[in-house]
């Protein structure tokens, strides 16, 4: 049996009557698919650009936060500086009692600024020595204090929200006769 030129080999189904119409339909579907792909690509590019803008904005905000993180603390310190400048200016005319009172007032201003920012002093007199919070400057024999306890604070330490800023510098007791 001879094969017809109108049908592919092994296919007995006739070709569609309206080949041009089907081609036109396929071209329309192809254009719609291309338009949908272009729209998807455009949306993806816009999303990527928006994400990049968010990243840049966040980086700027973090930079600003780092830059001005101490701004409020600095504002709290300004009255302390003003008081110190006033004390220096008036020192030649002041008596010892008024100088001491002025220093006390400045210390109170500084203490309030520290309190507002959760800066706490470490004054460990009588406490056991803790190498995580204290720096031993020396050891001294003591018949009254427990060994490895702090018998003198050379310089107070400070914490910020529970995090050590500076250890307290201390003198630690040792038992009499210990090397």
Pull the structure tokens for residue 157.
């330490």
CA distances from 128 to 16, 124, 164, 171 (A): 98, 8, 17, 11
pLDDT of residue 3: 47
Torsion of CA 65, 69, 72, 74, to 10 degrees: -140
Block mean pLDDT (10 aa), the chain, length 179: 50 66 92 94 95 95 86 89 90 89 92 93 96 96 94 96 95 86
CATH (one of 2.40.50.100, 2.30.22.10, 3.30.420.40, 3.30.1240.10) for 120-179: 2.30.22.10
Q: 149 and 175 in contact (C-beta within 8 Å)?
A: no
User: CA 153, 159, 162: angle at the middle one, nearest 5?
Assistant: 130
Q: Which secondary-structure segment (H or E) carries 119?
A: strand 119-122
Alpha-carbon span 113 to 160, nearest angstrom: 12
pTM tops 0.85: no
pLDDT of residue 4: 47
Q: 89 and 124 in contact (C-beta within 8 Å)?
A: no
Exposed, middle or buried: residue 88 (CB in 10 Å: 0-12, 13-18, 19+)?
A: exposed
Question: What are the sequence ranges of the domains in the chain?
Answer: 19-69, 70-117, 120-179
pLDDT of residue 1: 45
């Amino acid at each position: 049996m001879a094969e017809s030129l109108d049908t592919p080999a092994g296919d007995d189904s006739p070709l569609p009557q309206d080949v041009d119409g089907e081609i036109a339909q396929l071209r329309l579907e192809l254009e719609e698919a291309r338009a949908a792909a272009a729209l998807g690509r455009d949306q993806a590019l816009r999303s990527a650009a928006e994400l990049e803008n968010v990243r840049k904005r966040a980086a700027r905000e973090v930079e600003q936060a780092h830059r001005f993180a101490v701004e409020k603390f600095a504002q709290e310190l300004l009255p302390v500086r003003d008081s110190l400048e006033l004390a220096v200016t008036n020192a030649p005319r002041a008596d010892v009692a008024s100088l001491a009172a002025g220093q006390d007032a400045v210390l109170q201003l500084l203490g309030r600024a520290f309190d507002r920012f959760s800066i706490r002093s470490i004054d460990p007199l009588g406490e056991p020595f803790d190498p995580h919070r204290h720096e031993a400057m020396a050891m001294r024999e003591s018949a009254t204090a427990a060994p490895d306890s702090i018998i003198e604070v050379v310089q107070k330490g400070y914490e910020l929200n529970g995090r050590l800023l500076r250890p307290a510098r201390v003198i630690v007791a040792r038992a009499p006769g210990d090397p």
